Amino acid sequence: MSKLSIMDIGKKISQAGRLELRPLCVYGSNNLPFGAVPLKTISRCIAKAVFTMAVHEETPPLYIGSDTLEGCCPGGAFWLGFTSPSPWIKYFVSTGTKEFSNGAAEYLKASPQIVEESTNSIGKIKPLGKNIVIQAYTELGNQDPGVKSLICFGVGEQIRNLCSLIYFRRVDTNAVLAPFGPSCATFITYPAGMAEKISVDSAFLGPTDPTGNSWFPANYMALGIPIHIARSMSEDLEKSFIVKRSIVAYPDRREKL
């Protein structure tokens, strides 16, 4: 077992990706870290609140639990395992229906049936505990409250290099996935291992949900990394192309095409 602390892992992942925004930790807890505030105090949208924390370092730890759902996005509450899906969500995500919200629709799926089948393919979503906590790795010191995953944000080159590092010692081609789902699923649900039928041995690239484009920068991507994969990446960093061939990972000079 590696002796790397969560702090060590966060530092190494930041170094590997040359990330400007600090990685965030996801874990479940019955006891809240000092100064933690309900996620909804930052934004109704779970994913937007998480990205706000990454951008603004003064943001305190955030948490969401069954007793703090009022005022949060109902869809997000489902994707974090706290509620059942609304019977109308399959219409709203696809083509709409006059019986719900005057036919409002997102047109993300071709039909309500496809939404339903997609949701079934994910399986049951189980919360990590009484509360799901989002906290910057820099605040954990040598403590590990049971971190399940890291959320990383960066521009294309940074995220590409992190994805390549994931594959450093993998023989399969499924180590990085970009599945359907809201931004909060890419950030939290999938990499934290909360979805019954989604791989626990993959990192998650996205978001593939365009509804957050009004607040998520056009040149940014997110990478949700299960903590055991992040640990392996950290252990491999010095042996990998990022250190051994840094001029390839982050070239000083670039060709103009």
What are the start-end ranges of the H helices in 56-155? 74-79, 89-93, 112-122
133 phi and psi angles, rounded to 5 deg: -110, 135
pTM score of the predicted model: 0.95
Domain locations in the chain as residue ranges: 6-81+129-249, 89-124
Read off the pLDDT of residues 81-139 as tens digits, 9 standing for 90 and up. 999 988 999 999 999 999 888 899 999 999 999 999 999 999 999 999 999 999 999 99
> What percentage of residues in the chain have a pLDDT greater than 90?
95
CA distances to 66, 143, 233, 250, 253 from 247, rounded to whole Å, are: 48, 35, 19, 5, 9
Sheet holding 24-29, edge to edge: 37-38, 62-65, 131-136, 24-29, 149-155, 220-226, 203-206, 176-177
Structure tokens at 256: 């103009």
C-alpha torsion angle, residues 40, 47, 57, 65 (rounded to 10): 40
Instruction: With cut-offs at 50, 70 and 90, classify the pLDDT of residue 1.
Output: low
Q: Which two tokens stand for residue 113?
A: 């049936």
In b/e form, how buried is each residue of 25-60, taking b as 16+ CB within 10 angstroms? Answer: bbbbbeebbeebebbbebbebbbbbbbbbbeeeebb
- Cα–Cα distance for residue pair 253/63, rounded to 1 Å: 43
Rounded to an integer, the average pLDDT of 220-245 is 97
> Taking 90 as the threshold, does the pLDDT of residue 2 lie above it?
no
Do 50 and 184 touch, CB atoms closer than 8 A?
A: yes
